[in-house]
Chain A
Amino acid sequence: MAYVDEFPTDARIIRWNLLVAFTALGIGGLFGMIQALHRTGVFRGFVSSADYYSVLTGHGVLLALFFTIFALCGLFTWGVTRSLDRPLPSVRFSMTWFGLMFVGALMASVTILGGLVPSMPFNADVLYTFYAPMQAHPAFYLGLVFFIVGTWLAGFDWFRTYWRWRGDNPDERIPLQTFMVLVTMLMWYISSAGVAVEVLFFLLPWSLGIIESVDPLLTRTLFWYFGHPVVYFWLMPAYFIWYTVLPKLAGGRLFSDPLARVVFVLFLLLSTPVGFHHQYTDPGIPEGFKFIAMTNTMFLLLPSFLTAFTVVASIEHGARQRGGEGRLGWLRKLPWDEPAFAGCALAGLMFAAGGFSGIINAGMNINYLVHNTLWVPGHFHLTVGTASALTFMAIGYWLFPQITGKRLRFRSIATVQPYVWFVGMTLMSNAMHRAGLAGIPRRTAEPQYDAVTFQGVVGGVSEMRLQIALGGVFLFLGLMLFLIVIFGTWLGGSSNDSLRVNGTIPTPLSGPEHSPKILDNLKLWTAIALVLIVLAYGLPLSAMVADGLFAPGSPPIPV
């Protein structure tokens, strides 16, 4: 029986979330291609260089917040209901959080797009980081508040489904998928509190004229308190898929359930007390606290290294079940023509490359070389732009038939799509990294100056531009292919065909019974996470507010 037959209401909630996610992906992706062509100078006919920043804001907010988090809500709703084998308790409540998130996202998006229409009295050309004292229209901040509160309610929905299950199953271990969802949401509650304080207590009242000034460094610090954990909020749904579904797609089963739990607990502990690594080159923050953030960041590599091991081991196990042999020969036995598998595997491969460029970013003094250069978007297009985005697309090929009851259409398009994305990202990202080493800045409509010449360390600047533009076009093409398959299946598929996929997930080689019960003690891990945050942030934050919450203050500067 397909998921949609078992949980028709929850399937509908998942479909709504994924519909919004993939629509945001389509619009944000189009913006991305426009930027790639514009900033390289290949084609500047879409927008003026002043309007480039509205497009850039839309690209960041629609993709990094709305696409990723709506996709997360769809995947987590699926994972909780599937692994607990019970529906969410109340459809009205579920539609409330979805509706709140949607209204918030719509408000913020319309405000951003207002920047492209001169007759519109509102805009939010403040980019995804909305650093004060650049000020957006209050509707932008209010939309973000609605959106974030919606995610909190979504988390509550999953928690209470779990509590009800716990009432019926007092002695069982938390099923792995639900464990991952709950731990991720605990991290999210802790970290999104930072951006909630920033927006609710500072930016929103300031944009409405209720308070006169805000402290740019304090609001920036609150943003980055949230801004690094949010990257794990993008990534952990991908890990959730790599651990629980990818082994099955490879023909095997998860190598170790206990290690998967350890990895998620480590993310809960270490994701937040690292935000200063985005502020290595900021004045006003003592060097010692930058060092603490760096140390935590480096240890945050550990769960990703463990993941690399477990995921590769699980895939290898799958390949050997399929008759794979030899030290590397087993790779040939993997189902590279299955888009769900190929997409997840290629996403994981690119994430390894992105992880290594992230290590460079994390090195405190090395960061001087790459901070705010094109290196940084080169890095995160491998992580959120591929590890998360390509995984969400790939799993869509597997999940959509199950939540719609329709067999996947345009299979041949789906089969090539992950490879188109992979090639596009290889072109774009390698050139962005190298351009960053040459000092070419990010977030700029025209990185060509009379007064400045950039010396390429490896390769020439014009060759990099060409690769970035070409890569951007490939990525947009890959995105269109994906949307054709998904919306074609959804709108045009027939419910009469039997599905080729099923949602059964084989038990791990080493199951939860091998792991200490303390791993499931969520209160303990939350408490330790909070202690680490106090150590990392307590003193610098109190120093920032010691001279007044709003000082040194800046009045709003509309852009």
Chain B
Amino acid sequence: MEIHRYEKIWTAAALLLIVGLIATVTYGALGPGVTMVDDSGGTIDAGSLGETEFGDPGVSQVGENQYEVYVVARQFLFQPGTTSPIRVPANSEVTFYITSADVVHGFEVAGTNINVMAVPGQVAEITVRFDEPAQYGIVCHEYCGAGHHTMAGQLVVVPEDEYDTEGS
């Protein structure tokens, strides 16, 4: 088979780029430790969330600077998040457990790389660090029904010293 010399060079360059792209993602996982949401959260019966940790969703402290947040997404709000913001302290490591009580929703904290799907029957588990106090918006980014565009919330990272006194 005849392959033009330029075409050989081009193919080699394309393969190099492809391998390089895979290498950058591998570095992101092994170096800075950006892991993908996977099956670690397990499955759940979306019809009876009341009998699980999702029965009373919210923030709880599990270690010195470690927190867990259980979030239920349902048409058309995040619990917690929509009626009251999710509050966590700065300089903390927070593990989110997110599931849906009805249809597929999305959980995107705008301006960050917190971005997961809330699929009924599955629990999404992601761990993130909050270094600085900040205020973020939460958006449902998967179409979930006629009121989809109203489904949003807030996440507030408060200064460490203010967090305890609020007793949240």
Judged by a CB distance under 8 angstroms, whether B124 is at the interface is yes
Chain A residues, CB < 8 A from B114: 368
Smallest distance from the beta carbon of B123 to chain A beta carbons, Å?
6
Interface assignment of A445: CB less than 8 Å from any CB of chain B: yes
Flag whether A309 is at the interface (Cβ < 8 A): yes
By DSSP majority rule, is chain B's interface helix, strand, loop, or mixed? Answer: mixed
Judge whether A373 is part of the interface by a CB distance below 8 angstroms. Answer: yes
Nearest chain B CB to A36's CB is how many angstroms away?
Answer: 16
**Which chain B residue has the least Cβ–Cβ distance from A553?**
B121
Q: Min CB distance, A137 to chain B, in Å?
A: 16
Given contacts A125-B145, A444-B149, 4 further A-B pairs with CB under 8 A are A302-B14, A310-B7, A442-B141, A552-B45
A294, A298, A438, A443: the one contacting B142 at CB < 8 Å is: A443
CA gap between A233 and B3 in the complex, in Å: 27
The answer to whether A372 touches B115, judged by C-beta atoms less than 8 angstroms apart, is yes
Q: Which of A237-266 contact B (CB under 8 A)?
A: 255-256, 258-259
Q: Give the dominant DSSP class at A's interface.
A: loop
Decide: B103 and A449 in contact? CB cutoff 8 A.
Answer: no
Q: How far is the CA of A369 from the CA of B141 in the complex (A)?
A: 12
How far does the alpha carbon of A359 sit from the alpha carbon of B20 in the complex, in Å?
12
B154 neighbours in A (Cβ, 8 Å): 451-452
Q: Which of A73-81, A508-516, A529-537 contacts B (4 or more CB under 8 A)?
A: A508-516
| A 336-374 binary contact with B (CB < 8 Å = 1; else 0) | 000000000000000000000001001111101101110
The answer on a CB contact under 8 Å between B113 and A368 is: yes
Contact B116 A283 (CB under 8 A): yes
In the complex, chain B residues whose CB is within 8 Å of the CB of A217: 119, 121-122
Q: Beta-carbon contacts of B64-108 to A below 8 Å, as 1s and 0s?
A: 000000000000000000100000000000000010001110101
* Minimal Cβ-Cβ distance residue in A for B13: A305
Q: Interface residue count for B (Cβ, 8 Å)? A: 68
Contacts of B143 in A (CB 8 A): 53, 56, 127, 443-444
Are A449 and B34 in touch, CB under 8 angstroms?
no
Alpha-carbon gap, A452 to B24, bound state (A): 31
| Beta-carbon contact of B145 and A134 below 8 Å | yes
Please pick, from B35, B111, B145, the residue contacting A455 in the complex, using a CB distance under 8 A.
B111
Bound CA span A216–B43, Å: 12
Tell me if B159 is interfacial: C-beta within 8 Å of chain A.
no
Query: Does the CB pair A452–B41 fall under 8 Å?
Result: no
- Return A173 CB to nearest CB of chain B, in Å: 13
Which one of B1, B29, B36, B140 lies within 8 Å of A258 (CB-CB)?
B1
Query: Are A283 and B103 in contact, CB atoms less than 8 angstroms apart?
Result: no
Residues on the B chain within 8 Å of A134, using CB: 103-104, 144-145
- Which residues on the A side are within 8 Å of B58 (C-beta)? none
B121 to chain A, nearest CB (A): 3
Q: Is A325 an interface residue (CB 8 A)?
A: no
Which A residues fall within an 8 A CB radius of B? 49-50, 52-53, 56, 125, 127, 131, 133-134, 215-217, 220, 255-256, 258-259, 279-287, 290, 294-295, 298-299, 301-302, 305-306, 309-310, 313, 359, 362-366, 368-369, 371-373, 438-439, 441-447, 449-455, 510, 514-516, 543, 547, 551-555, 557, 559
Contacts of B39 in A (CB 8 A): 283-286, 543
- Is B62 positioned at the interface, with any CB of A under 8 Å from its CB? no
Cα distance, A554 to B123, chains bound together (Å): 14
Q: Which 10 A-B pairs have the closest CB atoms?
A: A452-B137, A552-B121, A439-B110, A441-B141, A283-B124, A305-B14, A368-B113, A372-B141, A50-B146, A365-B34
Report whether B121 and A452 are in contact in the complex, using a CB–CB cutoff of 8 Å: no
Q: Is the CB of B137 within 8 A of A449?
A: yes
A447 to B36, CA, bound (A): 26
Contact of B119 with A216 in the complex, beta carbons under 8 Å:
yes
A127 and B34 CA atoms in complex are apart in Å by 31
- Shortest distance in angstroms between B138's beta carbon and chain A's nearest beta carbon? 7
**Given known A439-B110, A439-B139, A552-B45, contact A284–B14 (CB-CB < 8 A):** no
Q: How far is the CB of A216 from chain B (nearest CB, A)?
A: 5
- Decide if B36 touches A287 in the complex (CB within 8 Å): yes
Near A by CB (< 8 A), chain B positions 139-168 give 139-150, 152-154
Which chain A positions have C-beta within 8 A of B146?
Answer: 50, 53, 125, 559
How far apart are A198's CB and chain B's nearest CB, in angstroms? 14
CB pair A453 B137 closer than 8 Å: yes
Distance in angstroms between the alpha carbons of A443 and B143 in the assembled complex: 6
Residue of A nearest to B14 (CB): A305
- B125 near A451: Cβ-Cβ < 8 Å: no
Q: Contacts of A50 on B, CB cut-off 8 Å?
A: 146-147
Partner of B38, one of A285, A363, A451: A285
CB neighbours (8 Å) of B59 from chain A are none
Distance from A286 Cβ to chain B, minimum over Cβ atoms (Å): 5
Known: A258-B2, A543-B39. A301 touches B14 (CB 8 A): yes
Which residues of chain B are within 8 angstroms of A551 by Cβ–Cβ distance?
A: 43, 121
- Complex CA–CA separation, A131 to B120 (angstroms): 11
Give the nearest-CB partner of A295 in chain B. Answer: B22
Please name 15 pairs of A and B residues whose Cβ atoms are closer than 8 Å in the assembled complex, sorted by A.
A217-B119, A283-B41, A294-B22, A298-B22, A299-B18, A302-B18, A372-B106, A443-B141, A451-B154, A452-B152, A514-B1, A514-B2, A543-B39, A554-B121, A559-B103
